[in-house]
Amino acid sequence: MALADHVKSGFANLQQNCFHQHTIHVGHRFLITGGAGFIGSHTALGLMEQGHSLVILDNFDNSSPDALLRVEELANGSGSLELVEGDVRDADAMERAFQSNGPIDGVIHFAGLKAVGESVRDPLRYWDVNVNGSRVLAAAMERHGCKTLVFSSTSTVYGEPEIFPLREQTPTAPIHPYAQTKLAVEQMLSALGRNGAWRIASLRYFNPVGAHPSGRIGEDPLGIPNNLFPFITQVAAGRRDQLQIFGNDYPTPDGTGIRDYLHVMDLAEAHGMTLDHLLKQAGPTTLTLNIGTGHGLSVLEVVHGFERATGITIPYKVVPRRPGDVPKLEACPLKAKDTLGWTATRTLDDMCRDGWAWQQANPMGYRGE
């Protein structure tokens, strides 16, 4: 479906290229599943700015076609974007994605479900979308001889670790169905990698936040946000009265949970660099990389950082712990640095400023237009 079919209005002609330039070769053709989502839209923009042609497969289960229109607008004529609206579990839709306008050089697989609590309530749906969807994708890749894949995994595969730093070889011990499904896909992909000329990277993201500095694309959670950062920006915008802090009795210096927050633009860049790395490998490759800053922050440190960056006070109250939360997750990102040359460069200030700019410009997310 042409993106123009979704066009409802014209756009301001913004000319911003905020991605740091890397060495990826121009002119590849990539399939991006879930490319309309939070991380997918930022990654798609970065790849288009580098001149690549993208096929995006998304069913808009948790996103809006408007995100892709804005990606096109920001790319400002660089690269190209073609949309296949469909479900990753649907082999026919997948076939359409592979048959559109020429061979696919590589795939980034973002499409999936990511809400921990929902995965506990409805595990079968998570196994179906996350695992079966990945199986349908891998089967189509095999059929089409496309064997270069970047997979969105998660730091939650480490479960409730007690020993830091968390390296990729740290034993995995997922404690909820969401993380179990992501680990299952990692395992499925490494089995596949042992059987042929696959080049596969599973990226274990820590906590991506913030938005593109233009304020045109960002995170757009449906309903009440599950995650800390969009909740804070909605409190700042007056959409919610106060933040609830889930527990201040964790074994951490201030008692609140610690996570490794990274700017979504840094995460987007990691994908371009991973594709670049995989495409340069002559032989079979199976890679697992932590993608984080290596510096954990507590909930209170994020709240106060946001207040400093924006000048807005965030009212909060401490409530009991949220089931399934762990005290601390913090990456050791050295393998990503050694393998890709990637490190996160943006600060908490950048994350707060850019996330707040997006929230202010789009108080109701993409649904405001």
Q: How is residue 264 annotated by DSSP?
A: H
Using DSSP's 3-state secondary structure scheme, residue 86 falls into coil
Cα atoms in the Cβ-side hemisphere of radius 13 Å centred on 227 = 18
Cα(27)–Cα(32) distance, rounded to whole angstroms? 15
Hey, what are 205's tokens? 């993201």
User: Which of ligand UFG, ligand NAD, none does 329 bind, CB closer than 5 to 8 A by kind?
Assistant: ligand UFG
**Which uninterrupted H or E stretch holds 207?**
strand 207-209
Nearer to ligand UFG, 70 or 259 (CB): 259
Pairing of strands 29-33, 53-58: parallel
305 binds ligand UFG, rule: CB under 6 A: no
Indicate if 178 belongs to the active site.
yes
Contact 211, 354 (CB under 8 A): yes
> What is the helix (H) or strand (E) element at residue 259, kind and residue range?
strand 258-259
Stretch that binds ligand NAD, among 33-41, 72-80, 99-107, 183-191 (CB under 6 A): 33-41
* 159, 193, 208, 292: residue in contact with ligand NAD (rule CB under 6 A): 208
Residue of 46, 133, 272, 305 that binds ligand NAD (CB under 6 A): 133
Residues from 94 through 123 that contact ligand UFG (CB under 6 A): 114, 116
The catalytic position among 126, 158, 178, 261 is: 178
Q: Which does 112 bind (CB under 5 to 8 A by kind): ligand UFG, ligand NAD, none?
A: ligand NAD
Using CB under 6 A as the binding rule, whether residue 303 contacts ligand NAD is answered as no
Partner whose binding site includes residue 36, from ligand UFG, ligand NAD, none (CB under 5 to 8 Å by kind): ligand NAD
How many residues are recorded in the chain?
369
> DSSP secondary-structure letter at 200?
E
Host H or E run for residue 65: helix 65-75
234 binding ligand UFG? (CB under 6 A): no
CB of 87 to ligand NAD, least distance (A): 4
Pair of tokens at residue 307: 């207040």
The listed partner (ligand UFG, ligand NAD, none) that binds 107, CB under 5 to 8 Å by sort, is none
Nearest position to ligand UFG, beta carbon: 257
Residue 35-74 contact track with ligand NAD, rule CB under 6 A, x = bound = -xxxxx-----------------xxxxxx-----------
| CB 126 to ligand UFG: min, Å | 11
Q: Does 257 bind ligand UFG (CB under 6 A)?
A: yes
The DSSP bridge partners found for residue 199 are 148, 285
Q: x/- contact string, 342-361, with ligand UFG (CB under 6 A)? A: --------------------
- Residue in this structure with the two tokens 């079979």, named with its chain if needed: 284
Tell which one of 113, 183, 211, 329 touches ligand UFG (CB under 6 A): 329
d(CA 325, CA 34): 26
The span from the CA of 42 to the CA of 365, in Å, is: 15
Q: Which does 231 bind (CB under 5 to 8 A by kind): ligand UFG, ligand NAD, none?
A: ligand UFG
Opening angle at CA 70, ends 33 and 233, nearest 5: 90
Given a contact cutoff of 8 angstroms between Cβ atoms, the answer to whether 366 and 220 are in contact is: yes
Secondary structure of residue 285 in the 3-state scheme: strand
Q: Are 286 and 196 in contact (CB under 8 A)?
A: no
Which residues bind to ligand UFG, rule: CB under 6 A?
Answer: 114, 116, 154-156, 205-207, 226-228, 231, 243-246, 257, 259, 299, 322, 325, 329
By annotation, the residues acting in catalysis are 178
Which residues bind to ligand NAD, rule: CB under 6 A?
Answer: 34, 36-40, 58-63, 87-89, 110-112, 114, 129, 133, 152, 154, 205, 207-208
